[in-house]
Amino acid sequence: MVAAPAVGMNLERLLKLPSHSQFLFLNASKSRDFYARYSGVKILDLLKHAGISKNATQITVFSPDGYSMVFPIDVPDPQTNPKTVQYDVTGPYPYGTYYGGLDFVDYGIIPGCIEDGGRIPTNFICFSRT
């Protein structure tokens, strides 16, 4: 077998990339989900820094347990049919909605500016509540 091309990224290189943070809902398992704040690097920024080919049309993401999923890099927008929406690397993504009091969700730290049933904003600064 031919080895796939690879680019090594150490912490020093990652810390030089643009930082991104967002509050989101994570589907962790069939029985438990949670709200969390992601802080790190956008996948598109990482791919550009690693030298992704301009001809690339998709990426495959692998989890530690071997599960994989293919994402197109860019799908023409707007995508209006919810049954055929493809979540691509470049976005845009629909806004999430915050739902409080669900028995299958671990809530942890919730930003105080989000109201039950309200839209999760893309960028916000507010205090947290537990």
Pull the structure tokens for residue 51: 């030298």
The pLDDT profile of the chain, 130 residues, written as one tens digit per residue, is 898 888 888 999 999 999 988 888 888 777 788 888 888 899 999 999 999 999 999 999 988 898 999 999 998 887 888 888 888 898 777 778 888 888 888 888 777 778 899 888 766 556 454 4
pTM above threshold 0.85:
no
Please check whether residue 85 is in contact with residue 73, taking contact to mean a CB–CB distance below 8 angstroms. Answer: no
DSSP bridge pairs for 22: 38
